[in-house]
Amino acid sequence: MKRLFKPGLLIPIAIIIVLAIWPLLSGNSASSREAMFTLIMSMALASSLNIILGYTGYVSFGHIVFFGIGGYAGFWAITVLGWHILPAALLGGLIAALIAWLLGLAVLRLRGAYFALATIGILEAMKALVVNLDFLGGPVGMEMHFSEYKRYGGPMQSLWMIYWSMVILAIIVVVVSYFIKTSKFGLGLMAIREDEDAAEVMGVITPRAKTWAYVLSAVFPGIIGVLFFFKNGNIEPGDAFRLHFSIEWIVMIMLGGAGTVLGPIFGGGVYQWLRKTLLTSPLFKNYQLVVAGVMLLLIVLFVPTGVIGWLRARSAKLRRIFE
Amino acid sequence: MGDVLFTSAIDGLLIGVIYGLAAMGLTLIFGVMDVINLAHGPLIALGMFGVYLLFTFLGLNPFLAVAIVAVIGLLLGVVIYFIAVNRVIDAPPLSSLLSTFSVNMIIIGIGTAMLSTSSYNVDYSMGTMDLGFFRAPGARIAASLVALLTTALLYIFLYRTRPGKYIRAVANNRISAELMGIPSTRILALAFGVGVMLATVAGGLIATILPINILAGGSYELKSFVIVVLGGLGNPLGALLGGLILGLIEGIVPVFMKTTWVPVIEYVLFVLILLVRPQGILGAKE
Amino acid sequence: MKILEIKHVTKRFGGLTAVNNVTFDLEEGEILGLIGPNGAGKTTLFNCINGVYKPTEGQVIFKGQDITGLPTYKSAHIGLSRTHQIVRPLNELTVLENAMVGACYGRENMKLSDARKTAMEMLAFVGMEERFDVLAGTLNVAQKKRLEMARALSAKPYLLLLDEVLAGLNTAEVTHMLDTIRKIREQGVTIIMIEHIMHAVMSLSDRLIVLNYGSLIAEGSPEEVSQNPEVIEAYLGDPDLAARLLEEDKA
């Protein structure tokens, strides 16, 4: 239990909590709630991806596939089976985890660029498949009837319920991420990241460890997908399986620092804040993507460890504060 | 049925040659420097718009425009190499994936701001060629022939000229090539330039036969991945074969099922080949 | 008691036979020197023993159990550790964390807290305890070799495979490392060491085996082996020169 009261865990949780209560304090709560939802969701998604990408060193480029799979599974359970959102969200996470497990058995044998390519292939295959599945609405996807929200006390209540679910989930993701990082399992993952063959020689059961890391990094995007599309009211293949979106998560991770607990939280926050600023600035409105691209390029070329990674590399003392 | 099948197959092969050409750019870069160029799609799109602009505003013949685009592509590739790739050439794969992806974002960002994402058309026709047993638009046949010609030139370049031989030497073993006095950084930049050139030429040829938009390169980039894996990563001739196979799939599959199943088949094939035979059909580079 | 039995192990890569029908035993507590010219198949033999490669033919028996072709992690779990010829530190992890990986996933499958204790002990044992908190990637070659050693020892192995731990070290560092290896043996760990520095391997080993072109060409005490003309020829091609060098080495 001593592990609970360390700055490495408390700092990211504190950041999320402060952001989460912001809409209650600010006057215009509906719009700041939406902004914070996007922000906290990004942090949670980037943190999940960080488990396989940052800790284990496997570049899952098409990681959004689990967000889409979970989203579709949950949306289907809600609209077709009439499930409550919460069990549906868990179903989304479960299906995403199950598919990650099956895929992982196969694709985690690939290394480096081959793995990255395979994840893009899986994403595109899944998107193309869903377009052809009529029971999931094919190319146009599925809509949720407005009356669905009545069950939770109306649209307003539903939105707040989703919001707080997202906040709690983000905190769970951070806790899981922290416990992995500071556990024996996490040590094994980082050994794999640094040198997979050497890790195996030292006794790390690499196939099993990688598969677990992949499953854990898929389960939360699966759940988040359900919350997101429930809030949206509709789901379609283009939104559920957008490659660009999952690359944004990678940018967030890189910005903060891959393989750190705080990195994706910090990076997610900065990225979304910057994006919002650019979107509203008349000068950069049309060149948002260019600015983001230049930023990414500069990070990759000059600060490849990210901000938190850079700080951690400075001294052992900073390593004890920032996990 | 036989007729339809035959015509679809020929149609598929004609476009497949161009797919193959695009993929050759990707596979050459990977083969030489182990970099997967994620700016490939936008560069194809730049080739498309290069031809469109030269044709529409200067009234150039589209195929002449393709030649100019090729030169621009080569130079652009060298510039991109020095800005985004050179510094991460020995870093883990994530670095070069992200640095080339940032180039992707920059190109798409500028392109979208200037051209929007709407569709453009190179309004050019060469009539219809009728060979009795087979009819196809003349431009389509011409584009495929130019693609074949470019492939042949690439091979002459790689196997008969000194810089081409240097590129192959660096691809084979960069360190020993350096020990033999080959200036590897310049050769890597040249190889990247040639790779980008092939992408822009393919884009230019596509513009002569199909409507274009700034995001259209993305789907050709994904096709290039599939082709490159089919043909063996780093193997240019394999890419041509892969392109033909992909073209055939796209030509023939719609005869039997809905067109929307084509990408499912393509990507499943892609992942399966990565898993079962990552060296591709013809074998990857050593 | 025999800790390791190598029975007719052969490893082929395509047409190349890297290890050819090698057979030998190893007694518990022994230090066995494995020598031979470059490319003789020494590292390949190590790789066959700990499961990096599955031998094309033959058997590897460890403590009476057939471990031929078991995954490398399994051989780590049953008490077989090794170092690498070209050091493989986990660069972005600290020195302590590197050693902890060995302890956590080695024979005793330790909890994190126990692993930390063992890792610190082993770092102290190889003289690296002061640098426990630096990133492994920042160490120099000699330190990285010590770290590899500490990592392998943290797994509490019965058998330790040392692949050229002396290469690239200066004289003082070699002396230090030789002391360390002697101390490891005193703790009852059996050792096979691949080594090129002759005086070192001669002084440490109880017994030597010699590989040439993948085949075992000689086996015996360091004195016997060093007199063996076939060995001398394999090494230098010129028996006279070799004999002279050996004389100098003794003096």
Give the sheet arrangement for strand C80-82, strand by strand.
C80-82, C159-163, C190-194, C31-35, C207-212, C215-220
C245 vs C168, higher pLDDT: C168
Are B112 and A122 an interchain contact pair (Cβ–Cβ within 8 Å)?
Answer: no
Are A203 and C90 an interchain contact pair (Cβ–Cβ within 8 Å)?
Answer: no
Mean pLDDT of chain B: 90
Chain A within 8 Å of B134 (Cβ-Cβ)? no
Q: State the helix-helix crossing angle for A206-232 and A64-79, rounded to 10 degrees.
A: 50
Yes or no: say if C78 and C107 are a contact pair by the CB < 8 Å rule.
yes
CA distance C84 to B139: 60
Has residue C250 got a pLDDT over 60? no
Mutate to test the interface with A, among B97, B256, B276 (most CBs of A within 10 A): B97
Secondary structure (3-state) at A170? helix
pLDDT of residue B286: 40
Total structural domains within chain A: 1
Are A201 and C76 an interchain contact pair (Cβ–Cβ within 8 Å)?
Answer: yes
CA distance C167 to C174: 9
- Which CATH number is A124's domain given? 1.10.3470
| Set of chain B residues whose Cβ sits within 8 Å of the Cβ of A247 | 101
Has residue C39 got a pLDDT over 50? yes
Sole residue written with tokens 């992995």? A180
Q: What percent of chain A has pLDDT over 70?
A: 99
Q: How is chain B split into domains, by residue range?
A: 2-217
A114 min Cα distance to partner chain C (Å): 22
Residue of chain A with shortest Cα separation from C152: A202
Calculated CA dihedral for residues B2, B8, B10, B13, nearest 10 degrees: -140
Helix (H) or strand (E) holding C62: strand C57-62
Cα–Cα distance list, C39 to B217, B228, C49, C214, C229 (Å): 49, 36, 17, 8, 20
Q: Could you report the per-residue pLDDT of A62-77, keeping only the tens digit for each?
A: 999 999 999 999 999 9
Instruction: Name which of A59, A106, A110 is nearest B278 (Cβ-Cβ).
Output: A110
Has residue A143 got a pLDDT over 90? yes
Q: State the helix-helix crossing angle for C141-154 and C112-125, rounded to 10 degrees.
A: 130
Chain A within 8 Å of B229 (Cβ-Cβ)? yes
Yes or no: say if B40 and B224 are a contact pair by the CB < 8 Å rule.
yes
| Set of chain B residues whose Cβ sits within 8 Å of the Cβ of A116 | 36, 93-94, 97
Q: Could you report the per-residue pLDDT of B226-270, keeping only the tens digit for each?
A: 899 888 888 888 999 999 999 999 989 888 888 899 999 989 988
CA distance B76 to B73: 5
Mean pLDDT of chain A: 92
Chain A within 8 Å of B249 (Cβ-Cβ)? no
Has residue A247 got a pLDDT over 90? no
CA distance B209 to B216: 13
Query: CATH class for domain C2-79+158-250?
Result: alpha beta
Has residue C37 got a pLDDT over 60? yes
Calculated CA dihedral for residues C82, C86, C87, C90, nearest 10 degrees: -100
CA distance A251 to A312: 19
A37 min Cα distance to partner chain B (Å): 25
Secondary structure (3-state) at C34? strand
Residues in chain B: 286
ipTM of the complex: 0.89
A153 CB-contact burial (10 Å; exposed 0-12 / middle 13-18 / buried 19+): exposed
**Amino acid at site C126:** V
Cα–Cα distance list, A245 to A42, A56, A67, A322, B52 (Å): 10, 21, 10, 27, 30
Has residue B171 got a pLDDT over 60? yes
Any idea which of A95-99, A256-260, B277-281, C125-129 has the lowest mean pLDDT? B277-281
Give, as one character, the DSSP assignment of residue C135: B
Has residue C154 got a pLDDT over 90? yes
CA atoms within 13 A on the CB side of C114: 10
Q: How is chain C split into domains, by residue range?
A: 2-79+158-250, 88-156
Instruction: Name which of A112, A117, A301 is nearest B88 (Cβ-Cβ).
Output: A301
Q: Minimal CA–CA distance to B274: which of C224, C28, A113?
A: A113
pLDDT of residue C160: 95
pLDDT of residue A281: 80
Q: How confident is the model at residue C139 (pLDDT cuts 50, 70, 90)?
A: very high
CA distance A255 to C221: 60
Q: Minimal CA–CA distance to C185: which of C146, C223, C158, C225?
A: C158
Largest separation between any pair of C-alpha atoms in chain B: 60
Interval C108-126 mean pLDDT: 94
Are C105 and A259 an interchain contact pair (Cβ–Cβ within 8 Å)?
Answer: no
Are B102 and A113 an interchain contact pair (Cβ–Cβ within 8 Å)?
Answer: no
Q: Could you report the per-residue pLDDT of A167-222, keeping only the tens digit for each?
A: 999 999 999 999 999 999 999 999 999 999 999 999 999 999 999 999 999 999 99
Residue C191 Cα to chain centre, angstroms: 7
| Set of chain B residues whose Cβ sits within 8 Å of the Cβ of A297 | 83-84, 99, 102-103, 106
Are A190 and C90 an interchain contact pair (Cβ–Cβ within 8 Å)?
Answer: yes
Chain A within 8 Å of C111 (Cβ-Cβ)? yes
Residue B98 Cα to chain centre, angstroms: 20
CA distance A290 to B253: 38
Q: Give the Cβ contact number of residue A179 at 10 Å.
A: 15
Sole residue written with tokens 């510039």? B79
Yes or no: say if A257 and A308 are a contact pair by the CB < 8 Å rule.
yes
Pairing of the two strands A142-143 and A234-235: antiparallel
Averaging pLDDT over each range in A43-47, B33-37, B159-163, which range is the top one? A43-47
Calculated CA dihedral for residues B202, B204, B205, B211, nearest 10 degrees: 110
Which chains neighbour C (Cβ–Cβ under 8 Å, 3 or more pairs)? A
Are A198 and C90 an interchain contact pair (Cβ–Cβ within 8 Å)?
Answer: yes
Instruction: Name which of C90, C115, C155 is nearest A191 (Cβ-Cβ).
Output: C90
Has residue C189 got a pLDDT over 90? yes
Domain that holds residue A252: 2-321
Q: Could you report the per-residue pLDDT of B175-198, keeping only the tens digit for each?
A: 888 888 888 899 999 999 999 999
Yes or no: say if A215 and A101 are a contact pair by the CB < 8 Å rule.
yes
Q: Which residues contact A289 (CB under 8 A, 6 or more apart)?
A: B105, B106, B108, B109, B112
Calculated CA dihedral for residues B43, B45, B46, B48, nearest 10 degrees: 130
Interval A264-289 mean pLDDT: 85
pLDDT of residue C14: 85
pLDDT of residue A121: 93
Has residue C236 got a pLDDT over 80? no
For chain B, the C-alpha Rg in angstroms (whole number) is 18
Alpha helix ranges (H) inside C29-170 = 42-50, 72-77, 95-105, 112-125, 141-154
- With vertex at residue B149, the alpha carbon angle to CA B148 and CA B151, rounded to the nearest 5 degrees, is 65
**Amino acid at site A113:** A
Chain A within 8 Å of C8 (Cβ-Cβ)? no
HEC-encoded secondary structure of chain B: CHHHHHHHHHHHHHHHHHHHHHHHHHHHHHHHHCCCCCCHHHHHHHHHHHHHHHHHHHCCCHHHHHHHHHHHHHHHHHHHHHHHHHHHCCCCHHHHHHHHHHHHHHHHHHHHHHHCCCCECCCCCCCEEECCCCEEEHHHHHHHHHHHHHHHHHHHHHHHCHHHHHHHHHHHCHHHHHHCCCCHHHHHHHHHHHHHHHHHHHHHHHHHHCCECCCCHHHHHHHHHHHHHHHCCCCHHHHHHHHHHHHHHHHHHHHHCCCCHHHHHHHHHHHHHHHHCCCCCCCCCC
Are C106 and A203 an interchain contact pair (Cβ–Cβ within 8 Å)?
Answer: yes
Cα–Cα distance list, B216 to A143, A200, A290, B194 (Å): 28, 43, 18, 21
Yes or no: say if A139 and A131 are a contact pair by the CB < 8 Å rule.
yes
Mean pLDDT of chain C: 89
- For chain B, the straight-line distance linking the first and the last C-alpha, in angstroms and rounded, comes to 43
Pairing of the two strands C190-194 and A142-143: unpaired
Are C90 and A195 an interchain contact pair (Cβ–Cβ within 8 Å)?
Answer: yes
Chain A within 8 Å of B222 (Cβ-Cβ)? yes
| Set of chain B residues whose Cβ sits within 8 Å of the Cβ of A292 | 105, 109
CA distance B182 to B184: 6
Q: Which residues contact B40 (CB under 8 A, 6 or more apart)?
A: B22, B25, B26, B199, B217, B221, B224
Mutate to test the interface with B, among A50, A103, A290 (most CBs of B within 10 A): A290
Instruction: Name which of C111, C115, C133 is nearest A316 (Cβ-Cβ).
Output: C133
A321 CB-contact burial (10 Å; exposed 0-12 / middle 13-18 / buried 19+): middle
**Amino acid at site B19:** Y
Give the sheet arrangement for strand C57-62, strand by strand.
C16-27, C2-13, C57-62, C65-66
Q: Could you report the per-residue pLDDT of B75-127, keeping only the tens digit for each?
A: 999 999 999 999 999 888 888 988 999 999 999 999 999 998 889 988 887 87
Q: Give the Cβ contact number of residue B2 at 10 Å.
A: 6
Token digits for B253? 């599959």
Has residue A1 got a pLDDT over 70? no
CA distance A217 to A177: 9
Secondary structure (3-state) at C24? strand
Instruction: Name which of A121, A127, A286 is nearest B271 (Cβ-Cβ).
Output: A121
Are C105 and A206 an interchain contact pair (Cβ–Cβ within 8 Å)?
Answer: no
